Structure 1
Amino acid sequence: MEVPLTVKAFLDRGARIYGDRVAIVDEPDLAHSWGRVTYRDLARRAAAQAAYLDRMEVPHGARVAVMSQNSARLLTSFFGVSGWGRVLVPVNFRLTVPEVQHIVDHSGADVLLVDPELTPVAWEIRGPRVLVIGESDEEMWTSGAAPVVPRIAESDTATLNYTSGTTARPKGVQLTHRNLWLNAVTFGWHLGVDDEDVYLHTLPMFHVNGWGMPYAVTGAGGTHVVLRKVDGPEILRRVHEHGVTVLCAAPAVLHSILDAAANWEGEVPGRDRVRVVVAGAPPPTRTVERIRSELGWEFIQIYGMTESAPLITMSRMRREWRDLPSSEQARLLARAGAPTIGVDIEVDGHGEVLVRSNHNLAGYWRNPEDTETVLRDGWLHTGDGGYLSDDGYLTIIDRKKDVIVSGGENVSSIEVEDVLIAHPGVREVAVIGIPDEKWGEAITALVVPAVDDLTAEQLIAHCRGRLAGYKCPKHVEFRTRLERTETGKLQKFKLRQPYWEGRERSVN
């Protein structure tokens, strides 16, 4: 017997076993907050959302885009949309109007659900029906009608996640129900998620579906605590107030927590209780040591990407390391980690990391050429350079594709270059990532000016009007020329080299 693996199974189990338990603690300081939501009520609201989309005549298989900061409504949509056969398109709420318009157009979204704080962007989007969730939207969540139950195959696309890659336009990653189910179960098993866990959503839910934690925590009957905006002191307050046991974070979030802990009165909350999962860029070993000593939290690192749903490896403390000095433990933990169950990793002759697993993407939406390239020979080609140690652990040492990871966000250097070169004062430009203690990598523009009076402030302001804030350069340096090959191609590895001199890895 084969039963299709679908994301609705996580909600069904949570509601059936833990119906009276609090599933979600919504952001409290909002006029449209749901407050505390039980698992039974979460299931009812997800079904009501599906029935509402039925009444709107949004067909099964249609794309429903959602642009929202973390919220109970967004979390419910992971089930209310995908659980009844439609495709959820989580949109980065930091994007500008043109960036959102591209995703909406490319995905062919029938509907755009948007948080009230983001309506200035949403009302400029052309094409889909726009619904504001959080303002007079109770009809969407209170319908008593039963939704139409479609036949869902586990190979059906459940979410379409857009990621900045090596081109100026993001690609839509098709993740199936099977991809998401296996990623969530694998993540939950390695992390030890159970019904005593309280999960704090410091990670934006749009980020590869919250790395699968909305599914894993729901299926286990844990409690979701919503956090809309990252703030170090507020994170510590939520950890204290709700008894948080696990959270996921980019390295920049770790620094905000450490800064807040330095000014915290009394014992830092969560000591010997909290597990913090980190990804986006490997933090320095000193940061790993500080998380473990100053906070007393368990540090866990994963490596992954949108195309792998995202889990590929996990690095977690193990008994063989207990007698090692803390600095050596931190060095080992700072590696990308060991392949998780069901994941195979190889490093090819060019040093590129290749991955094979049951949760690799089905393909890029409407992009067969790039799909064939990234999945050639039966392996996912990550575009990252690395090596496998004798103990089977992976270390990432370079990024072969033109991506900068800053504050946990992937940024296409080509996209930033396209915006900068459109400025009349720019003759040539190359955008690279340089080491930065807070952001991991700081976006830096190397510019050959076409005029004498061009300033860095002018260029950054030019970018801010056309790109999401996290994509804008943090530094601008002016050059008389840029290193190129005989054929005119930029040699970015040479441009990056002085900034990474003396480092073991060319990523941070």
Structure 2
Amino acid sequence: MKQEMTTLDFLDRAVDIYDDVTGVVAHDGTEYTYAEVGERVNRLANALAARGVGQGDRVALLAPNTHYFIETLYATNTLGAVFVPLNYRVQPDTVSYILNDCEAATVIADYDFAHKVEAVRGEVPAETFVGYEADDIDGDWADYEAVLADASPEAPERPEISEDDDASINYTSGTTGDPKGVVRTHRTEHWHALVLNQHMEIRDDDTYLWTLPMFHCNGWGHTYALTGTGATHVCQRTFDAADTFRRVREYDVTFMCGAPTVLNNLIQYHDEHDIGTTGDREVRLATAGSAPATATIETVEDEFGWRIIHIYGLTETAPIITTSNSPRRLAEHGRDLKIKQGSETLCTEVRVVDDDGEDVPRDGQTVGEIVVRGNQVMDRYLNKPEATEEAFNARAEGYFHTGDLAVWDENGMVAIQDRKKDIIISGGENISSIELEDTLYDHPDVGKAAVVPVPSEEWGETPKAIVVPAPGSDPSEEDILEFCDDRLAGYKTPSSVDFVEDLPETATGKVQKYELRDRYWGEEDRMVGTQ
């Protein structure tokens, strides 16, 4: 028989089987069992329905990692409505664009970020505004807890929800234009959560710490996977290294996520403070984005005692489509395997193709673009049919094109060389900024690093290293360049080094290289490396 796959399956199972288990620990330490989470979801769903939210309507949420993020997600989908989480770091004009693009009927916002909505309130279609701790918000906002208190705890009647109905819209960062709304159906969210469960080794006794922003791909799908498995969510509003270590110890955390820059912040704090890094149980940490530097992996695993799982994906792919979490291959190849993005996940087809859409050799050297096909891949870009068509058919028809350039080996394990827009082409030679950054992180005086192309009359463009010195260190440009020259081919060595206090980062810890590139290119025409 066929059973429709919906996001509600996950909370339904948690309430049915783990009703007395602590499902969510709020940032302030308040604990909610899964039975209580289910009741709060019912109350919010009933309250939204009373305010006119129905099937297909969009409910937008602007909030950090909170218990009510999880409640809003499930309450929205309970009504057959579509959940739209917003990046809390964006500016009001972007909030306005997104709310208009998705035609949000309702906005729920956190007291720390509601001013971004209030600033554009007259420009957006929403008529219902609910604020968490509304007394601390300027403007006319219904208070979240008061709204729940006035609503029935009984489960509302659900509409008929198809697995092909829209479940959520996640907006991309919009670094090359307006943000794109990535539409995900109940089926894609459901399928991805099952894949995530397998490759992240999620169990019902897991305690997960929310350092990863929940808005990012709905927390990479952990909002579903952890809930359905009966694990415990521990909320941390926004990342803070000291608070992360404290919560790991206090709640005996077993699982968390963190981009390489998050890991570097944790390492820096640990170097400066004599603190414990675990509770009574092993900690595993999933990292994504560019590969962590080898030195970062060694510190986290050897000094913290945490086990790193490297995954790869994009907002459009849920995100997980590959992982290097392979005990069989780790035993054969050792820790160096963890700097690779890995091989395709269950029921996912990943290829690396050339300009003609043909597979490049599995030799670990020939570069191509990663394309993917799988049930977890997005349905479409909202209101952008041409962009959708291009994304699925640019080189290989029917595959989503990631824009990431990579090599793959005889085992089908991919290693990203760069984003198409970040590859540096100097004198006709392709240079991976990721390779250069990995080398820079091996230098003991480098705290953070990024490499971008800068103009060159002779070569068109050359790599520049932008370095945040490690605490207490004072490296020189000559020292950094000599270090790189000893470890890299001559044409790959950075031509210059700038030292800065910090790097621009997204809420998920990724360096915003477009901001760095803009500093050096100004009004000049498009760079070679952005083709």
TM-score by length of 2: 0.76
Let me know the Cα RMSD of the aligned residues.
3.0
Matched, 1:280 2:312: no
In the alignment, which residue of structure 2 is the partner of 1:184? Answer: 193
Cα distance change, pair 330–53 in 1 and its aligned pair in 2 (3 A): same
In the alignment, which residue of structure 2 is the partner of 1:115? Answer: 110
Cα distance between partner residues in 2 of 1:271 and 1:290: 20
Are 1:160 and 1:174, in contact at CA under 8 Å, matched by a contact in 2?
Answer: yes
Are 1:446 and 1:476, in contact at CA under 8 Å, matched by a contact in 2?
Answer: no
Cα distance between partner residues in 1 of 2:274 and 2:205: 27
Cα distance change, pair 195–310 in 1 and its aligned pair in 2 (3 A): same
Deviation at 1:81, TM superposition (A): 0.8
In the alignment, which residue of structure 1 is the partner of 2:91? Answer: 96
Are 2:249 and 2:276, in contact at CA under 8 Å, matched by a contact in 1?
Answer: no
Matched, 1:6 2:6: yes
Matched, 1:220 2:229: yes
Cα distance between partner residues in 2 of 1:196 and 1:180: 23
Matched, 1:208 2:217: yes
Deviation at 1:139, TM superposition (A): 3.6
Cα distance between partner residues in 2 of 1:22 and 1:50: 21
In the alignment, which residue of structure 2 is the partner of 1:27? Answer: 27
Unaligned runs of 5+ in 2: 135-142, 356-367, 425-432, 442-446, 458-499
Cα distance change, pair 55–491 in 1 and its aligned pair in 2 (3 A): same
In the alignment, which residue of structure 1 is the partner of 2:419? Answer: 399
Q: Alignment partner for residue 148 of structure 1, among 157, 160, 164?
A: 157
Are 2:291 and 2:340, in contact at CA under 8 Å, matched by a contact in 1?
Answer: yes
1:321-360 alignment, distance < 5 Å = 321-322=330-331, 329-350=334-355, 351-360=368-377
Deviation at 1:403, TM superposition (A): 10
Deviation at 1:468, TM superposition (A): 13
Are 2:108 and 2:131, in contact at CA under 8 Å, matched by a contact in 1?
Answer: yes
Cα distance change, pair 99–188 in 1 and its aligned pair in 2 (3 A): same
Q: Alignment partner for residue 100 of structure 2, among 79, 101, 105?
A: 105
Deviation at 1:133, TM superposition (A): 2.2
Deviation at 1:49, TM superposition (A): 1.1
Residue 221 of structure 2: SS of its match in structure 1? helix
Matched, 1:237 2:246: yes
Cα distance between partner residues in 2 of 1:292 and 1:267: 14
Are 2:252 and 2:280, in contact at CA under 8 Å, matched by a contact in 1?
Answer: no
Q: Alignment partner for residue 293 of structure 1, among 281, 286, 302?
A: 302
In the alignment, which residue of structure 2 is the partner of 1:133? Answer: 132
Residue 375 of structure 1: SS of its match in structure 2? helix
Cα distance change, pair 170–264 in 1 and its aligned pair in 2 (3 A): same
Cα distance between partner residues in 2 of 1:303 and 1:399: 13
Cα distance between partner residues in 2 of 1:220 and 1:385: 35
Are 1:197 and 1:246, in contact at CA under 8 Å, matched by a contact in 2?
Answer: yes
Deviation at 1:298, TM superposition (A): 0.6
Cα distance between partner residues in 1 of 2:376 and 2:521: 44
Matched, 1:163 2:183: no
Cα distance between partner residues in 2 of 1:217 and 1:492: 40
In the alignment, which residue of structure 1 is the partner of 2:406? Answer: 386
Provide Cα deviations, 1:389-420, integer angstroms capped at 9, x if missing partner. Answer: 1012111112114799xxxxxxxxxxxxxxxx
Deviation at 1:322, TM superposition (A): 3.2
Provide Cα deviations, 1:356-376, integer angstroms capped at 9, x if missing partner. Answer: 101111101011111111112
Matched, 1:367 2:384: yes
Cα distance change, pair 403–390 in 1 and its aligned pair in 2 (3 A): closer
Cα distance between partner residues in 1 of 2:516 and 2:18: 47
Deviation at 1:319, TM superposition (A): 3.7
Are 1:96 and 1:468, in contact at CA under 8 Å, matched by a contact in 2?
Answer: no
Cα distance between partner residues in 2 of 1:479 and 1:372: 31
Cα distance change, pair 271–254 in 1 and its aligned pair in 2 (3 A): farther
Provide Cα deviations, 1:435-491, integer angstroms capped at 9, x if missing partner. Answer: 47566647788799xxxxxxxxxxx9xxx9xx9997584587557995x6xxxx532
Cα distance between partner residues in 2 of 1:403 and 1:78: 37
Cα distance between partner residues in 1 of 2:521 and 2:403: 29
Cα distance between partner residues in 1 of 2:342 and 2:422: 23
* Residue type at the aligned position of 1:250: A
Cα distance change, pair 249–133 in 1 and its aligned pair in 2 (3 A): same
Residue 66 of structure 1: SS of its match in structure 2? strand
